Every structure is written in structure tokens, then in C-alpha cells.
Amino acid sequence: MIGGSAAGLFTAALLAERGVFVRVFERIEVLEPAERTLIVTERMRTILGRAAEPAILNRIRRFELYTDGRAATIALKNPDFVVERRRLIQALAARAERAGARIDLGHRFHTLRESENGLSIEVERCVDGCQEAVRAEAVVGGDGAASRVARAAGWAPLETVPLVQAIVRLPADMAPDTVRVWFVPQDTPYFYWLIPESSTRGALGMIGESGPETRSRLERFLEKRRLDALEFQGARIPVYKRWVPVRRQLGNGSVYLVGDAAAQVKVSTVGGVVTGFRGALGVAEAILNGGSSRVLRNLRRELDFHLLLRRSLHRFQQSDYSRLVDLLNDSAKKSLGESTRDEAWQLLWRVCLRQPRLVLLGLRGLLMRSNAIDKPAQ
Ligand SMILES: Cc1cc2nc3c(=O)[nH]c(=O)nc-3n(C[C@H](O)[C@H](O)[C@H](O)COP(=O)(O)OP(=O)(O)OC[C@H]3O[C@@H](n4cnc5c(N)ncnc54)[C@H](O)[C@@H]3O)c2cc1C
């Protein structure tokens, strides 16, 4: 396994728990990865069980949507979780090690080659530059959006977008169990969010299209709301544009990708934690079953559906967002709160049954501006 972050460590734990000998090579030297405040649906807990508990900072029961002076509140039937990435990774590392996986920190993957009995992986010990060649039957790349494993095995590079968030003190009028979302299409085809991680602090962020512009727009947005950034968190996130086949055969060995390395990210909201875990379940299933995985087929359907949604939303103008919020009648809001973002088919189906005019609005976005997301980001 290359990459000891969320998707990689969960794959390692799943395989080790089934008796597979697993080594994880992670380039950072101490298991203290960058902190990030993340929001995930309850699906995370269904997948991880109690392993997730130490990472949970807060529970979210409501979303408030704002656009152009309009507002709509959606109450969630089951709360979302706000989690801290470093704690999540540390909990997953502990689970993988308990199952017998060996984690080699401070080891950078360089390349891989076909060898007589499988694959030969070249890794470098970061502290002294010492090279090591390791033999493996299968290699899993959980090494993120700029995956070196993917390049070495011949996958095409992924397109990415910048995601930046600032940790701020919560405004006095904000409830700690409520997320705020602002649709400001002149700033971003995505949205701004403010996610409370406690009763006093939250993460205010945005997804942009070009790096420097995203940061300066976020700073302007903070200024408008008279909020000061205590710290910034950010990285580039892959844009899911089509399903990335997760396996390649190289000679007698197999190479797999998981998580951001395979663009397993919901492109409607650019959330990749739960979908990366679903990718891990699928890759582990494929390795153990020698090929096919029902979990991966379901994940593909889910990611494709989020792509359809994003295509519709991507060039929404202000008038479209205003109409969207106006169309959210009580029963449509109830439906939105009943299913999660990780069950998008179900969610949208229910909403459209209760407010069919939303289908027309979505179709309009799709037909008028369908290829906007398909243009390369900068
Ligand atoms: C600021 C921010 C906020 C976000 N908020 C949310 C959110 O609220 N909800 C959500 O679902 N998603 C969110 N995301 C996206 C989410 O964080 C990612 O989709 C997810 O963490 C990806 O996990 P991963 O394990 O696939 O990859 P990564 O976390 O990118 O891990 C890759 C690992 O591989 C290691 N690595 C890389 N190259 C090498 C190499 N050559 N050799 C050895 N090791 C290597 C890296 O050090 C790293 O540990 C957010 C992202 C950012 C940046």
C-alpha cells in the first residue's frame, strides 16, 4: 500500500483483518498529518463502526442555504458528523496495525516495475535517501490526487480544483449544530460553507477553479462577514469526470487505486472521505475475490450521479439559485433531510416527487450549460 491516509489505511486494515500481509509506505515521518475539519454523513460510521469515534468533533442537525437574500433550512433526520482528519487517520492506523499491517513512515514511493513473481516497488527512506526494493503481488495506490503509483502504472493524470478553508470563531448568531451554505455563482460554481466544529470555532471554506483566485475570494468573503482566519487549510482535490477503472495488470502483478488517487470524490460537493472508504471496501473486495466487486459498481453509479448533478449546477446563475431556494417547499425540504448526500439517487428521487418543478430546473441547467464542468480547470 502506498499512502497512509484515510483511504489507504482503511484498505490496509480491511486486507490485514482478512489475513493478507500488508505493508504501508507513507512519506510523512511522524503520523501527524495536516489537520482538516471535514464534514461527512452518518455513512462514515456505518462503514467504520467504532473506529470513527475518536475523530468526531461535532454533530450537525441542520443546513441553512442562502442565496441573494433568500434562505431555506433543512433539518437532517440523521446528523452529519464533523471530523478531524488527523485524528481519523491516527485511528485508522491503529486499526490497521492491530490487524497486523506494518506501517513504514518516512518512506517515499518512487516507481514500480514488473518482476518475475509480481511487482518490484522502489521506495526511498526519506531520512537518508536509502533506496529499498520491495516485492509484492499487488500494489494499492492510496497516494492522493497527484498519485505517483497511477503515473508509474500508466493511468492518466487527474484534473484537480483548489479547496481552501479558514478556521474562524463562530459568529454569535450561529448555532453549533447548523451548517451554513452560500451560493454565490459570481464567485464560484460550487459554494461557500461554514461548518461548526465546536460551539466556538468553525471552518469557512470554498472550492474554486483557479488557485490564487480562490484564496483571495475566500479572504474577501471573510472580510465581508467580519470574520478573522485563525488558520488556513487547503489542498487540491480531484474532479470526478468519469469512472477511473481501479485495477491494472502489469505482468504477473496487479496495481489498484483508491480514494483521491482514483478520483473517488462526489463532484457535486467535492467530498471524498466516505466515497474513498467505499472505494477501499471495493478494492479490498476485488483483491480478496480476485476481480469483481459489487461495492465498486454501486460506487460508480453514485459518483456518476453526482457528476450529472454537478453538470446541471455548474453554470447555474443567480436567478437559478434563487428559484432553487424558492422551490424548496416544506415537503421537498423534508425529503432533503431524510436521505444523505451518499445516497444521491434516493435523495433526488424523493425531492423531485415532492417538488417536480425542481426536475425542470435541473434539466434546464443540464441542457443549457451541460459541458461547463467538462472544460479543464486552471
Ligand atoms: C481543506 C479540505 C477540506 C475538505 N473537506 C472535506 C469534507 O468536509 N468532506 C469530505 O468528504 N471531504 C473533504 N475533503 C476531501 C477529502 O479530504 C479527501 O477526499 C480525502 O481526505 C482523500 O483521502 P485519501 O486517503 O484518498 O488521500 P490523501 O488524504 O490525499 O492521502 C494521500 C497520502 O499519500 C501520501 N503520499 C503521497 N505521495 C506519496 C509517495 N510518493 N510515497 C508515499 N506516500 C505518499 C500522502 O502523504 C498522504 O498521506 C477536503 C479536502 C480539503 C483539502
Strand pairing partners for 154? none
Question: Across the beta sheet with 201-207, what order do the strands follow?
Answer: 37-40, 70-84, 56-67, 178-182, 192-196, 201-207, 160-169, 231-238
**Residue 107, in any domain of the structure:** yes
Asked if 295 and 46 count as a contact pair (C-beta separation under 8 A), the reply is no
E-strand spans in the chain? 23-26, 37-40, 56-67, 70-84, 102-105, 107-115, 118-125, 131-136, 138-141, 160-169, 178-182, 192-196, 201-207, 231-238, 247-250, 253-257
Specify the residue with its C-alpha closest to ligand 1, atom 39.
143
The gap between the terminal CA atoms of the chain, to the nearest Å, is: 30
Higher-scoring residue by pLDDT: 366, 11: 11
358 and 257 in a common domain: no
CA distance 59 to 39: 9
Question: At 373, is the pLDDT very low, low, confident or very high (cuts 50, 70, 90)?
Answer: low
Domain with 116, as residue range(s), is 6-305
265 lines ligand 1 (CB under 6 A): yes
The atom number, within ligand 1, closest to the CA of 107 reads 43
Instruction: Determine the distance separating the centroid of ligand 1 and the alpha carbon of 163, expressed in angstroms.
Output: 11
Query: How many CB atoms neighbour CB 58 within 10 A?
Result: 21
Atom of ligand 1 nearest to the CA of 236: 53
Q: Is the CB of 237 under 6 A from ligand 1?
A: yes
CA of 26 to the centre of ligand 1 (A): 12
What span, in angstroms and rounded, lies between the C-alpha atoms of 100 and 130? 25
Closest atom of ligand 1 to CA, residue 235: 53
Same domain? For 206 and 268 the reply is yes
Across the chain, mean pLDDT equals: 90
Phi, psi of 116 (to 5 degrees): -55, -45
Q: How confident is the model at residue 378 (pLDDT cuts 50, 70, 90)?
A: very low
Q: Looking at per-residue confidence, does 308 or 2 come out higher?
A: 2
171 and 248 together in one domain: yes
Residue 1 lies in a domain: no
Do 148 and 294 have their domain in common? yes
- Position 361 pLDDT exceeds 70: no
Those residues whose C-beta lies under 8 Å from the C-beta of residue 161, and which sit 6 or more positions away, are 207, 208, 209, 236, 237, 239, 270, 377
Measure 5 CA to ligand 1 centroid, in angstroms.
7
How many distinct structural domains can be found in the chain? Answer: 2
Decide if pLDDT at 360 tops 70. Answer: no
Do residues 321 and 364 touch, judged by C-beta distance below 8 A?
no
Residue 369 lies in a domain: yes
DSSP 80: E
Distance between Cα 319 and ligand 1 center (Å): 35
pLDDT band at 364 (very low <50, low <70, confident <90, very high): low
Does 355 lie in the same domain as 208? no
What distance in angstroms lies between residue 306's CA and the mean position of ligand 1's atoms?
19
Give 284's strand partners: none
Report the CATH number at residue 234: 3.50.50.60
Q: How far is the CA of 268 from the centre of ligand 1 (A)?
A: 18
Counting residues of the chain whose pLDDT is more than 70, the rounded percentage is: 89
Worst-scoring range by mean pLDDT, 127-141, 269-283, 328-342, 343-357?
343-357
Task: Out of 81, 122, 134, 143, give the residue to mutate to test ligand 1, the one with the largest number of ligand atoms within 8 Å of its CB.
Answer: 143
Do 290 and 149 fall within a single domain? yes
Quote the pTM value.
0.93
In a domain, 172, yes or no: yes
Residue 242 DSSP code:
S
pLDDT bracket for residue 317 (50, 70, 90): confident
What is the atom index within ligand 1 of the atom nearest the CA of 123?
42
